[in-house]
Amino acid sequence: MGVEDKDFIMRQIRQLGEGLGAFLGKEDVDKILSFGEDAQKEIEDSSLDKQLSSEQITEKKETKPK
């Protein structure tokens, strides 16, 4: 990719950022930037919930009288 192509892409990105800045407030930008972190937390929480549920089921099976 040539220098001119990179310059063009960077100008387009800057214009896009400026355009979004005109429509979005600081709160909106913070929400967008933290979206990835929030999604990762949800994945981790879901994984932890599944693990805890699995452990509880295992414990019930072990303590269940025969």
pLDDT for 64 equals: 62
66 versus 53: the higher-pLDDT residue is: 53
Q: 14-22: list long-range contacts, CB under 8 Å, 24+ apart.
A: none
| CA separation for the pair 35, 42 (Å, rounded) | 11
pLDDT for 66 equals: 56
pLDDT in tens, 17-65: 888 888 888 888 788 777 777 777 777 777 777 777 776 777 777 666 6
Q: If you average pLDDT over residues 10-20, what whole number do you get? A: 89
pLDDT for 65 equals: 60
Neighbours of 2 (CB within 10 A): 7
CA–CA distances in Å: residue 12 to residues 17, 19, 23, 43, 57: 9, 10, 17, 33, 54
